[in-house]
Amino acid sequence: MKLKPFKELIAMTAELKDKALAPIRAKQVQTRAELEMSKLDEQMVTLEANIQELCAKKEIDFNALIKAMDDLALAERRKKQFEKILAELFLAD
């Protein structure tokens, strides 16, 4: 890396600085979204295991089972939405 002359540095506008940082900020946002998706993956595995445990009980609590299934469906929908958002925001280039 070569340092820019001081005159050029102080002449840089905030807009130019923001433009230079834009790719880094975009990558940070993309990474945060991917982290949230991996949290959803973990949540879905946990919910699936919970559903199996609820079904294996001698006395099935159908309300708890339905709630767990609803939670799993919500997590699956959220993951699909994250995937769609990531595709539209970052893969459109």
| Per-residue model confidence as pLDDT tens digits over 47-82 | 999 999 999 999 999 999 999 999 999 999 999 998
Residue 49 structure tokens: 């295991």
pLDDT class of 92 with cuts at 50, 70, 90: low
> What is the model's pTM?
0.70
- Structure confidence at residue 34 (pLDDT): 87
Classify 45 as helix, strand or coil.
helix
pLDDT > 60? residue 36: yes
Whole-Å CA distances, 63 to 18, 69, 75, 91: 52, 10, 18, 41
Residue 69 structure tokens: 């299934």
* Sequence ranges of the domains in the chain: 27-90
What mean pLDDT value characterizes the chain?
87
Whole-Å CA distances, 77 to 35, 41, 46, 72, 85: 16, 12, 16, 9, 12
